[in-house]
């Protein structure tokens, strides 16, 4: 009998409206996966705790990602649902309130939800740049990317599969 191959790892990034931080985190993480063997097979997506489905990424998020060689103009926001969460091994959020909201409303996510910063150091929020100047978005993208870089060993460890 042939064993069914394990599905690739799946990571979901969550912020509030899914138009600034989580789409940038999704894009930046996909860039980092270029250096991970098999990273091109991973499922990487984003959603929001209070998102209005179908909204475009904020103009400044699109600009900041474009300056890094990534086009997120096709991004459309979506709200976190139980069904969506079931498909992800690791759920990385931007603020303590996101973590609390997910673990209270969806208790089955316990053990899979972490602040992005938690995997690289102290649990600190990534502030929402919505409505601020482009420079604030650039700083937010830098902060997210720093957390991803520093947290990559923990992310990979948490997603390691038994052979």
Residue 81 burial class via C-beta count within 10 angstroms: exposed 0-12, middle 13-18, buried 19 and up: exposed
List the structure tokens of 75: 């991004």
**pLDDT band at residue 162, thresholds of 50, 70 and 90?**
very low
- pLDDT tens-digit profile of 115-141? 999 998 999 999 999 999 999 999 999
Q: Each residue of 29-41: pLDDT tens digit?
A: 999 999 999 999 9
Catalytic residue chosen out of the listed positions 32, 68, 89, 128: 128
Q: Is 15 assigned a catalytic role?
A: yes
Q: Where do the domains of the chain lie, and which CATH numbers do they carry? A: 10-159 (3.40.50.2300)
If you average pLDDT over every residue of the chain, what do you get? 94
Quote the pLDDT of residue 7: 86
Residue 53 to residue 77: CA distance in whole angstroms: 5
Q: pTM, whole model, 2 decimals?
A: 0.94
Per residue, the 3-state secondary structure of 5-30, as one string, reads: CCCCCEEEEEECCCCCHHHHHHHHHH
Backbone angles phi, psi at 13, to 5 degrees: -100, 135
**E strands present in 81-141:** 90-93, 113-115
pLDDT of 46-62, one tens digit each? Answer: 999 999 999 999 999 99
Does residue 63 register a pLDDT over 50? yes
Look up 20 and say whether it is catalytic. Answer: no
User: Which of the pair, 4 or 108, is modelled with greater confidence?
Assistant: 108
Active site residue 53: no
Using CA atoms, how far apart are residues 127 and 95, in angstroms rounded to an integer?
Answer: 8
Between CA 140 and CA 149 the distance in angstroms is 14
């Amino acid at each position: 009998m042939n064993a069914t191959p394990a599905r690739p790892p799946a990571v979901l990034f969550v912020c509030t409206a899914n138009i600034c931080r989580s789409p940038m985190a999704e894009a930046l993480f996909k860039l980092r996966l270029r250096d991970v063997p098999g990273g091109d097979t991973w499922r990487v997506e984003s959603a929001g705790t209070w998102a209005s489905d179908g909204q475009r990424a904020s103009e400044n998020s699109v600009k900041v990602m474009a300056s890094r060689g990534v086009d997120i103009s096709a991004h459309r926001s979506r709200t976190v649902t139980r069904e969506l969460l079931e498909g992800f091994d690791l759920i990385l959020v931007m603020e303590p309130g996101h973590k609390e909201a997910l673990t209270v409303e969806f208790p089955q996510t316990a053990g899979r939800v972490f602040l992005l910063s938690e995997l690289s150091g102290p649990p600190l929020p990534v502030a929402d740049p919505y409505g601020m100047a482009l420079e604030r978005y650039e700083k937010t993208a830098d902060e997210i990317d720093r957390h991803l870089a520093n947290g990559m060993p923990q992310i990979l460890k948490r997603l390691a599969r038994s052979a």
